[in-house]
Chain A
Amino acid sequence: MMRSMVLLMVLVAPLAAQNSSSPVSIRLRVADEVRVGRQAPDVVLPYATRNGPGPADQPFALRKELGRVVVLAFYPGDFTAGCTAQWQAFRDRAATLFGPEVIVAGISTDSLETHVRFAREYDLPFKLLSDPALTIARRYDAVDGRRARRMVVVIGRDGLVRYVDRAFAALDPESYVHLGAAVEAARKE
């Protein structure tokens, strides 16, 4: 608990100095760093596909995808029941949910080797990024314990966040409906 308190104090200290009267608003401001209309924090991570690990010297870099709509999907782990359902749904509905021009990237703490096995097992046509230290997940406030929280972010061609679902529910059909609508809106901009 003490370690958590210290960590949190470090986290909120700069903001606390600006707004010491409302601890709740401090927490919300930290969580709201990634939100619609703001520049998406850059992502640079090694990735794997069903064909194998990507080139070590050419990691996935969000800034290189400017001009394309990007969907970042943080998720707890390969081969877990909820994540498998989510990625199978993404695979089966890729044409209508995303479209051919959209980059879809999954982010979890799994290794590249696990990502390759997962992508091959379920024939996933996506890049799966490895974030074992949760570096990017923290930047997006997508951490739940030692894993990434299930969360999707749609980023427009201009690099601005267009949509955030901080509690994407893998088994909820409505989650996919909302995501699809957000991607379509971003594609039309």
Chain B
Amino acid sequence: MAAVLALATAPLAGQQVGSTATPITVTDLSGAEVRLDARAAGKPMLLEFWATWCEVCEALMPTVRAAHARFGQQVDFVGINVTVNESKARVARWVEREKPPYRVMYDARGVAVRAFEAPATSYVVIIDAGGVIRYTGIGEDQDLQAQLSKVVAR
């Protein structure tokens, strides 16, 4: 019975806080491949899964900008556009206009979405320099600076 319960109640497989992030290769807006591997880079990483149509992402943006202003030298900020209901041209226009404080990836094949099992846009993942996931969160009310303080201080 214990085996049945474990199987029935186990969370879906995915990268949880405390687990090691799987290094992945995604593409940026130019189509160039980019390796996302905090451990290899030796630098913490903040990933945000976003879309141009995401109102929550828009509400979260000031928080991301403030976090970048404080930690941008120590942390690699990466924005993963989820590409659902998007076009590359629209994303490019948005990037040109908004100048987001992160490197923009265009995840046309869903590589990052699957790797991190991103449930929704505005999903943020913070990975420490050892490649361990230290935070995941969603929504516009995320205290990113407090979370980044923890990985920068390690």
Taking Cβ atoms with an 8 Å cutoff, the residues of A that contact B are: 4-5, 8-9, 12, 23-24, 26-27, 80-82, 85, 88-89, 92, 167, 169-176
Contacts and interface: CB of A to CB of B under 8 A. Distances in A.
Contact of B120 (A8, A24, A81): A81
B51 A85 contact: yes
A170 B108 CA distance: 13
Contacts, number: 75
A11 B80 CA distance: 41
Main SS at interface, chain B: loop
Contact of B1 (A9, A82, A170, A171): A9
B54 interface: yes
Interface string B85-116: 10000000000000000000001111001100
Given A80-B120, A81-B120, A89-B85, A171 B4 contact: no
A166 B92 CA distance: 33
Contacts of A174: 109-110, 114
A81 B121 contact: yes
B84 A4 contact: no
B64 interface: no
A12 B120 CA distance: 33
B118 interface: yes
B138 to A, nearest CB: 7
Contacts of B113: 169, 171-172
A169 B85 contact: no
A167 B12 contact: yes
Contacts of A5: 1, 5
A23 B119 contact: no
A170 B8 contact: no
Contact of B4 (A12, A81, A82, A167): A12
A23 B1 CA distance: 7
A171 B5 contact: no
Contact of A175 (B56, B110, B121): B110
Contacts of A4: 5, 9
B82 interface: yes
Nearest to A167: B12
15 contacts: A4-B5, A4-B9, A8-B4, A23-B4, A24-B4, A27-B8, A81-B121, A82-B119, A85-B82, A169-B110, A169-B113, A170-B120, A171-B110, A172-B113, A173-B84
B136 interface: no
Contacts of B84: 85, 89, 170-173, 176
B146 interface: no
A176 B83 CA distance: 12
Across the A-B interface, give the 9 residue pairs with the lowest CB-CB distance, nearest first.
A81-B120, A172-B110, A82-B120, A23-B4, A171-B82, A171-B113, A172-B113, A173-B110, A23-B3
Given A23-B3, A24-B4, A171 B108 contact: no
Contacts of B118: 171
Interface string B5-32: 1011100100000000000000000000
Given A24-B3, A81-B56, A169-B113, A8 B82 contact: no
